[in-house]
Structure 1
Amino acid sequence: MPPPDPASLPAPLLAELVAALGPSGLLTDPGERLGYGYDNSRRQGLPAAVALPSDAAQVQAIVRACRTHRVPIVARGRGTNTTGASVPGDGALVVSFERMDRILAIRPGDRVAVVQPGLLNGDLQAALAPHGLFWPPDPTSAGYCSVGGNLACGAGGPRAVKYGATRDNVLALAAVTGTGELVRFGAATTKGASGYDLSRLLIGSEGTLALIVEATLRLTPAPKARRVLRALFADVEAAAAAVARLMAQPVTPSMLEFMDGECVRLAREVGGATGLPAAGALLMLEADGDEAVLASAVAAIAAAADGPGCLEVRTAADAADAAALWAARKALSPALRTIAAGKINEDVVVPVSRIPDLVAAVRAAAATHALPIVVFGHAGNGNLHVNILYDPADTAQAARADAALEDVFAAVIALDGLVSGEHGIGLVKRELLGRSLDPGALALMRAIKRDFDPDGILNPGKVLPDA
């Protein structure tokens, strides 16, 4: 059942928004608004209206009008985030950037692209390919998530181990603050020592500080070739030691993905990953670069992966063989769906050396609460996805799942980790943020929020916990 329709916007504000956006730039029909009220967190609200700006001037007009009438604003890309960051509260105006989806410039000589926030990540990559370039952030939803959403949530992906996440691949931003002021941060240069780096401050702020209207992105030459390797281990400790060796040697893998023993078992027995031997843990690795140096890179990565507890290191011979090696990873998600109707998926991150401790804590939580929990993810960054499997219709199981999640978060914080590595905070984890960050840091964050958004109209109730 959809939530009840919140009170409509004040008539004077509606008139101002229609004047700024035109009749087609504002959606007020409940049926049209419904599609803008949810994200991949499965939480849902109903915005009072949906604004569809086409340029930065219209975004300024929206913010100024909403500030005058004290109406909250929730910025929206394509709603692929998993934390409720783009779910509106009652009476909120959703600002959807779907019409601001242009590539303003591609400058190969500078390795720079200037884009609007509504551009899809996949469309950007397609436009960059003829220039031999790509933008490194590659979340699972890359084909249909927006660049603005990637910026707002600090998206990562498997190749962040070599190329960095969103924060590492943005040079400059233009954004509208909570007062309606258009400000520009950064420059189209890869070096700069001129004041505070406010662009990086906005990335990951989930629309709570300003609405991004333009981004200058740092591009990377696309590798000429890739090679895939798979390493099997007797146990998690051996796999974690291999991760440490891999990250300490000079050749950085372009992917370094981890699956614990339960993942391997599920991929084999439920997911139908034929030809996958039994193992206590698995690493999927990728090397990329020019053909002339790729063989030596593969050899270095294979040598680093091999060591105590390593059962096998296999290198794909060709594309078909690479697909066969990746089959274990691709079989995992369908296998999880056969075990339980519900899944809590958390993207925690710990120092790479603490991965064995985290997995041990997860195993302990699974035993204590009698629930299956599997772990996989981006081992090269220490960013693991902890999946607690349960039946939401069983109130006892649901309570045990919540308790298991608390145990996992407590372990992550004790291991000097963070409660989110790439999904963000949103509604779901804001109270946890208060437990995992230094109180002084949180106080500074609240002060920064007041400076950018003095009336608190930008995505209220998200990211920062109550003081």
Structure 2
Amino acid sequence: MSPTLPAPLLADLTALLGPDGLLVDPAERLAYGYDNSRRQGLPLAVALPTTAAQVQGIVRRCRAAKLPIVARGRGTNTTGASVPGEDALVVSFERMNRVLAIRPGDRVAVVEPGLLNGDLQAALAPHGLFWPPDPTSAAYCSIGGNLACNAGGPRAVKYGATRDNVLAVTAVTGTGELVRFGAPTTKGASGYDLSRILIGSEGTLALIVEATLKLTPVASQRRALRALYEDVDSAAAAVARLMAQPVTPSMLEFMDGECVRLAREVGGADMPAMDGLMPRAQDAQERRPAAGALLMIEADGEAAVLDAAVAALTAAARGPGCLEVTAAPDEASRESLWAARKALSPALRTIAPGKINEDVVVPVSRIPELVAAVRATAAAQTLPIVCFGHAGNGNLHVNILYDPADAAQAARADAALEAVFDAVIALDGQVSGEHGIGLAKRELLARALSPQAMALMRAIKAQFDPDGILNPGKVLPD
């Protein structure tokens, strides 16, 4: 028989939330016990609040009972950040999913944390506005989850990640206090910016119950370019060139040769075969060096300036090792290109049954060194390692592919992962660019950050959550 809430706490929470606001049946609880990391736990119960006052009541009651709380959006994160222990209460924000206000004149939206990213974008479209964070799971991930992990996506290269697009948050601390940080203004010099500390804290400091988001006007036009390179080193060098010139692309994605094959064969994108045969006029073909990497580049803006922007990006993309730069002929081709990019992660399962997907980030100018280190690691461990990602931010998804049933391959995969992390840290990078730390990477923080930084983080945690009940065991190592 699975553990359950103590009877007094069960009665208190039921009175607070109503009979349908607390799930205690094991079958219902199971659905809230896992996330996209494939880790799993069975919480004692699941609370479904609808108001900030209810969230305060939950925290206060759990603090008195010394019961851990794990906040949950839609469970799309990949690091185990929302996986509960068996002694925890899950607080799911799925019923706090309203758009509270859209103010086009201020370019802000006020929302609750359970609102889906995709639903927010649909609500903003009639106003000609959008919220820039666009992770692969945008259609079904929640705004609260985006804030918890500082989600990014392809557009972050020009418009910033979540932390750059939030003006204010209202949250409940580990003591049950309701606090508000920030203001609906794009400028401010009034004390510490505590809203930015909460964003990316993965529910370990406070439970966000409302957010004021900074919105951006939708550009009237977009154009996509596809640049092919002889090898990944040439493409990585082109990324550094593209980001060093004045025109910032609205998207800049890197794909190695294996990713291009998958995008074509599995994702259905109009991609060239990586075999060196490039179509020419009148259906003739000319043998050229095989393409080993591809950059997907997009520019957006008004018609009056877009031609010049595309010309500048095209010039920067060309260089040593570049085979060709072509423009997507129409919007359908552009959409197909990006849809195939978003389908890459699941498509990797066609290469090997197991994968370790790490979202490391380094300074853009050091991407060539990171790519070289990954290639050396793949050769040393005799494993396929596939790279793609948001190259304009220096954020690459390094996918180590192996068979978990093969003990020797699993050991080599672990060794490859350690080598990748060593390279990232040596290149002045970070072990996560957008997925967060959660359970999966918390021990890495001690390697990546100084003892002084770790001590300050623990002190901040103690101020917000003195009893350590908010998402314990996540982010900070023991």
Q: 1:330 to 1:51 in 2, by over 3 A?
A: closer
Structure-1 separation of matches of 2:388 and 2:430: 16
Runs of 4+ in structure 1 off by over 3 angstroms are 264-275, 323-335
Whether 2:391 is the aligned partner of 1:391: answer no
Structure-1 separation of matches of 2:340 and 2:470: 42
Q: Report Cα offsets for 1:121-157 as digits up to 9, x if no partner.
A: 0000000000000000000000000000000011000
Structure-2 separation of matches of 1:97 and 1:91: 20
Structure-2 separation of matches of 1:127 and 1:351: 35
SS at match of 1:377: strand
Tell me the amino acid that sits aligned with residue 425 of structure 1: I
CA contact (8 A) 1:231 1:312 kept: yes
The TM-score, its normalising length taken from structure 2, stands at 0.94
> Which of 341, 348, 352 does residue 329 from structure 1 map onto?
341
Instruction: List aligned pairs for 1:142-157, cutoff 5 A.
Output: 142-157=138-153
| Partner residue, 1:231 | 227
> Which of 84, 103, 119 does residue 88 from structure 1 map onto?
84
Structure-1 separation of matches of 2:98 and 2:262: 43
Instruction: List aligned pairs for 1:140-219, cutoff 5 A.
Output: 140-219=136-215
CA contact (8 A) 1:271 1:334 kept: no
Q: 1:333 to 1:178 in 2, by over 3 A?
A: closer
Tell me the amino acid that sits aligned with residue 374 of structure 1: V
| Partner residue, 2:29 | 33
Q: Report Cα offsets for 1:349-399 as digits up to 9, x if no partner.
A: 011111111111111211121111111100000000000111112222112
| Partner residue, 1:382 | 394
CA contact (8 A) 1:276 1:328 kept: no
CA contact (8 A) 2:359 2:432 kept: yes
Structure-2 separation of matches of 1:135 and 1:55: 24
Q: Report Cα offsets for 1:138-177 as digits up to 9, x if no partner.
A: 0000000000000001100000000000000000000000
- 1:308 Cα deviation from its structure 2 partner: 1.9
| Partner residue, 1:285 | 297
Structure-2 separation of matches of 1:388 and 1:46: 29
Tell me the amino acid that sits aligned with residue 217 of structure 1: L
> Which of 323, 326, 331 does residue 311 from structure 1 map onto?
323
What do you get for the CA RMSD once the two structures are aligned? 1.6
Q: 1:353 to 1:56 in 2, by over 3 A?
A: same
CA contact (8 A) 1:230 1:325 kept: no
| Partner residue, 2:281 | none
Q: 1:335 to 1:410 in 2, by over 3 A?
A: same
| Partner residue, 1:408 | 420
> Which of 435, 441, 454 does residue 423 from structure 1 map onto?
435
CA contact (8 A) 1:101 1:115 kept: yes
Instruction: List aligned pairs for 1:112-151, cutoff 5 A.
Output: 112-151=108-147
| Partner residue, 1:362 | 374
Q: 1:22 to 1:265 in 2, by over 3 A?
A: closer
Structure-2 separation of matches of 1:188 and 1:86: 29
CA contact (8 A) 1:350 1:416 kept: yes
Structure-1 separation of matches of 2:367 and 2:202: 28
Q: 1:251 to 1:37 in 2, by over 3 A?
A: same
Q: 1:148 to 1:266 in 2, by over 3 A?
A: closer
| Partner residue, 1:434 | 446
Q: Report Cα offsets for 1:281-339 as digits up to 9, x if no partner.
A: 21000111112222221111111111222110001121233346557636744652221
Q: 1:331 to 1:70 in 2, by over 3 A?
A: closer
SS at match of 2:20: helix
Tell me the amino acid that sits aligned with residue 362 of structure 2: V
> Which of 105, 108, 111 does residue 109 from structure 1 map onto?
105
The TM-score, its normalising length taken from structure 1, stands at 0.96
Q: 1:371 to 1:106 in 2, by over 3 A?
A: same
Instruction: Identify the range of structure 1 (37-46 vs 238-247) with the bigger mean alpha-carbon deviation.
Output: 238-247
Whether 2:43 is the aligned partner of 1:47: answer yes
- 1:265 Cα deviation from its structure 2 partner: 4.8
CA contact (8 A) 2:389 2:397 kept: yes
CA contact (8 A) 1:273 1:331 kept: no
Q: 1:333 to 1:170 in 2, by over 3 A?
A: closer
Tell me the amino acid that sits aligned with residue 422 of structure 1: E
Whether 2:11 is the aligned partner of 1:15: answer yes
Tell me the amino acid that sits aligned with residue 373 of structure 2: A
Q: 1:53 to 1:361 in 2, by over 3 A?
A: same
Q: 1:125 to 1:324 in 2, by over 3 A?
A: closer
Q: Report Cα offsets for 1:12-68 as digits up to 9, x if no partner.
A: 111111121111111111011010000000000000000010100000000000000
Structure-2 separation of matches of 1:177 and 1:283: 43
SS at match of 1:24: coil
- 1:11 Cα deviation from its structure 2 partner: 1.3
| Number of corresponding residues | 462
CA contact (8 A) 2:151 2:434 kept: yes
SS at match of 1:424: coil
Structure-2 separation of matches of 1:426 and 1:53: 23
Structure-1 separation of matches of 2:400 and 2:258: 12
SS at match of 1:50: strand
Whether 2:469 is the aligned partner of 1:457: answer yes
Residue ranges of structure 2 left out of the alignment (5+ in a row): 275-290
